[in-house]
Structure 1
Amino acid sequence: MSPADGQASAHRPFNRSDAKTLGLSALGGALEFYDFVVFVFFAKTLSVLFFPAGTAPWLSQLQVYGIFAAGYLARPLGGIVMAHFGDLVGRKRMFTLSVFLMSVPTLLIGLLPTYAQVGLLAPLLLLLLRIVQGIAVGGEVPGAWVFVSEHVPRNRVGFACASLTAGLTAGILIGSLLAAWINTRFEPQVVLDWVWRVPFLLGGVFGFFAVYLRRWLHETPVFTEMRERKQLAQSLPVKQVLARHRGAVALSMLASWQLTAAIVVVVLMTPTLIQAAFDVPAALAFRGNSVATFCLVIGCVVAGLAVDRFGVARSLLTGSLGLMAGTYALYLHLASGSVQHFVALYALAGFFCGVVGVVPALMVAAFPPAIRFSGLSFSYNIAYAIFGGLTPPLIGYLSQALGSLAPAHYVALTGVVSIGVAAYLLIARRPAP
């Protein structure tokens, strides 16, 4: 089997060049993903600074979550455009462009005037910059998965994609640690005065450093061989995806739903949600989140190894059951009025969030190389725009309507869907990637 048939031969060993590619890709992805998610760790602060004084706390928080969601809604635009050129002119070029497009708006958010200074213009500028961030990350995540999967042997695709995902989630850990340190070190008023700007200014610097790192990467062997053999997609790759691979698109989107719930609800929103619902101190909430995110990084790698050993279906089934159990254990413990085991239970839920490391391997295997970037990007970004974009305001509403366990119920619903996907794969006897 040639590289153009999928990935490099399964019989080739995983070598030092593969490790270098994974390391540089994961580090650059971590720095870029930090830029995208740091917004949510300061959602409470931004809700005070960018909306009129006197707005009900729940309403201002819902509004800033709406701006956060706009980044997800913008992802398909960036994802489809960058994937189009990624399939036609090369993976590496888009891989570098996406991180540059992320660093600029992140830096500018740190320089924005507040509502008290410029009125309605402040939230509008925040919204605009968040949309640009969404366009950038829409090309980054699927492009990164395709890039690393096409560099490694076929029997290490699960590990490669999961390692890259672990790198992306490490960016969340960086944001969580910084937020925990800021909330511990500074008084709330000092954070409102100026400290909130620091994470975004640092993010802009991180982004430019990631651009530098990616100059050391090489085009994927799969794309290089397709170009030499003139086997690249013609015209609009996404048109071919929708015409011939609708089943793969549907399966990928359903699997991505749980991915969005694990990251958006369990990792990103929970620190803020539990402060309001269970009166958990901010410092404790972010400390628990840091531990949970570290466990998520480990969980991603474990999930990738499981994919290469046991296949996508079994790994997805086991991870989904674990995520449902871990999330309920965390929220039920807090609902009992205790925080004694909060950090340990949040760590457990974070580890099982590692099931997100299974999803990219499923999607990489679902599409042929010539349209892989477009197929994966379309499926993943449309799913994230729908589910990720609607989840923050939906969770805010459901928490008001259904109570403090609403986030756990929502995660469980997505888990049921992923179990259905795993069952379908087992029954269909699809080959593991």
Structure 2
Amino acid sequence: MPFIALTNNQTSLSPKQLMVICFGNAVAYFDFLIYLFMADIISATFFPTHENPVLAKLQAFSLFSAGYLTRPIGALLIGRYADVSGRKPALLMSLLCIAITTLITASLPTYAQVGMLAPILFFVARLFQGMAFGAHTPLGWVYIAEHVPKSNLATYLSFVTASFMFGQLGANLLFEALTTTYTQEQLIDSGWRIPFVWGAMLSFVAVMLWNVLDETPIFSCQQVAKKYVPKLAEIGFNFRRFNAIFLALVLTFIISSLSMVIALLLPELILMRFSVDESMLSFSNNLGLLFLMIGCVFFGLIADKSSTGKALMMGSFALIIQALAFYYHLENSAGSFILLMYAILGFCAGIMSLGSVILVQLFPTEVRVIAVGLTYNCTYAVIGTALPFGLAYATNMISFSPALYLTFVGLVSFIIGLYIFRLPKFRDLDASLKL
């Protein structure tokens, strides 16, 4: 049987606690993504203006990538703390670190004020923010999973995954409002601080709401039983059993690919090869995010009503068809139905919420956060760093490269769904990380 032990029809999670977790996730993702939307402004603010602008932008994106690369460190350190001391204090630690680093970023001096010290300070703040965010994502999933019965696990976790997309939608809308309200010069002068200030304030609100949460029943039972907590060296020994680890890496590949391509990269990739009205494309992207959130909840409900494997196979097949149809439409209709096509594509990408449902069931309580966090963030670090450049290069060569990539992701997801469907109790997976 799976490691998630609550099998009755009762949940110890209140609606208020679910809302606090979802709000914290949305704010954390908002804070993490602000920099991506402000990359051009940050480049002009924190790097010498006399340098090659392309080089400056590459430097700016390298700072953004640094946030991805330090996420595994946060997953290791805060994840270990969560497995030893509890999910609730670890959530406070990650939220507080995100809030402080975002506030520090909003207060940093520019290159014009302190020279090369400015990008160095920004780099350090970004490193710590990435570490905190790396722990926060798996913590949110695990916290919810350890509060609810398995019969409702997919539904609850789908709301958590959807909350990340809500944070991105908020970042999209704020950036559009800023670029409409302020000129480029005003944004470079001081306007770039506004989204960071907003992010910091919302993060501190999330910190203040932390008291609503309580420790998870599963972790509390483990503490009462005084169950042995393995040392890091022993965790490494168990990680040599690759069954659960490999599946976790593949699931993260699916989650990261769908969230990055459809939610972040697709508008720029479309503009590289197709003539589509930018304002319409921006609105389509926001609509796609909204339907992605709806899709997350839809597939979560389907998974609880039937099975996770069936829901994943069904959604994967729909994703493949829609990805190909989306680019066929771009090639032959010049984006005439971009709103409808983007909305359907976003809805199909909602299958990514099922990844977390499987992830949290792969590892036992005593190493759940660190195991989920490390596998998730290590994979995301690679995908988050390499995919934007790789897919942009491929799109320059072949216009429908994003459709081919999404088709590949859909095929991988379908295979995983079939595998899970044939192992509905995860009985083989449970043997992969025995302590």
TM-score, normalization: structure 2? 0.89
Unaligned 5+ segments in structure 2 are 431-435
Aligned residue pairs total: 427
Which deviates more, 266-275 or 192-201?
266-275
Aligned to 1:6: 4
- 1:420 aligns with one of 415, 418, 423: 415
Aligned to 1:215: 211
Residues 264/302 of structure 1: CA separation in 2 closer, same or farther (3 Å cut): same
- 1:159 aligns with one of 155, 158, 183: 155
Task: Tell me, yes or no, if the aligned pair for 1:18 and 1:151 is still in contact at 8 Å.
Answer: no
- 2:119 aligns with one of 115, 120, 123: 123
Aligned to 2:346: 350
- 1:256 aligns with one of 243, 252, 255: 252
Task: Tell me, yes or no, if the aligned pair for 1:35 and 1:106 is still in contact at 8 Å.
Answer: yes
Which deviates more, 330-339 or 415-424?
330-339
Which deviates more, 88-97 or 365-374?
365-374
- SS of equivalent to 1:10: coil
Q: By how many angstroms is 1:204 displaced?
A: 0.9
Task: Tell me, yes or no, if the aligned pair for 2:276 and 2:334 is still in contact at 8 Å.
Answer: no
- SS of equivalent to 1:70: helix
- SS of equivalent to 1:107: helix
Q: By how many angstroms is 1:165 displaced?
A: 1.0
Instruction: For 1:327-338, list aligned pairs within 5 A.
Output: 327-336=323-332, 338=334
Residues 310/101 of structure 1: CA separation in 2 closer, same or farther (3 Å cut): same
Residues 404/181 of structure 1: CA separation in 2 closer, same or farther (3 Å cut): farther
Residues 314/50 of structure 1: CA separation in 2 closer, same or farther (3 Å cut): farther
Name the CA distance, whole Å, in 2 between partners of 1:386 and 1:147: 26
Q: Does 1:372 align with 2:368?
A: yes
- 1:81 aligns with one of 73, 77, 81: 77
1:64 is aligned with what amino acid? A
Aligned to 1:168: 164
Aligned to 1:395: 391
Name the CA distance, whole Å, in 2 between partners of 1:411 and 1:51: 35
Name the CA distance, whole Å, in 2 between partners of 1:268 and 1:358: 20
Aligned-pair identity (%): 30
Task: Tell me, yes or no, if the aligned pair for 1:149 and 1:364 is still in contact at 8 Å.
Answer: yes
Instruction: For 1:87-102, list aligned pairs within 5 A.
Output: 87-102=83-98
Unaligned 5+ segments in structure 1 are none
Name the CA distance, whole Å, in 1 between partners of 2:180 and 2:30: 20
Name the CA distance, whole Å, in 1 between partners of 2:6 and 2:17: 14
Q: Does 1:183 align with 2:179?
A: yes
Which deviates more, 36-45 or 255-264?
36-45
Which deviates more, 228-237 or 346-355?
228-237
Name the CA distance, whole Å, in 1 between partners of 2:56 and 2:333: 26
Aligned to 2:400: 405
Name the CA distance, whole Å, in 2 between partners of 1:18 and 1:338: 48
- SS of equivalent to 2:133: helix
Q: Does 1:143 align with 2:139?
A: yes
Which deviates more, 114-123 or 224-233?
114-123
Aligned to 1:242: 239
Query: CA deviation digits over 1:328-382, x for unaligned, max 9?
Result: 4444444557233222222222222211110011011111222221221121111
Aligned to 1:198: 194
- SS of equivalent to 1:366: coil
1:36 is aligned with what amino acid? F
Aligned to 2:433: none
Q: By how many angstroms is 1:239 displaced?
A: 2.6
Considering only aligned residues, what root-mean-square deviation do their CA atoms show, in Å?
A: 2.7
Name the CA distance, whole Å, in 1 between partners of 2:192 and 2:287: 22
Task: Tell me, yes or no, if the aligned pair for 1:399 and 1:406 is still in contact at 8 Å.
Answer: yes
2:417 is aligned with what amino acid? A
Name the CA distance, whole Å, in 1 between partners of 2:419 and 2:101: 41
Query: CA deviation digits over 1:115-159, x for unaligned, max 9?
Result: 455444443333322221210111100011000011111211111
Q: By how many angstroms is 1:280 displaced?
A: 4.7
Aligned to 2:34: 38
Name the CA distance, whole Å, in 2 between partners of 1:70 and 1:9: 41
Which deviates more, 150-159 or 268-277?
268-277
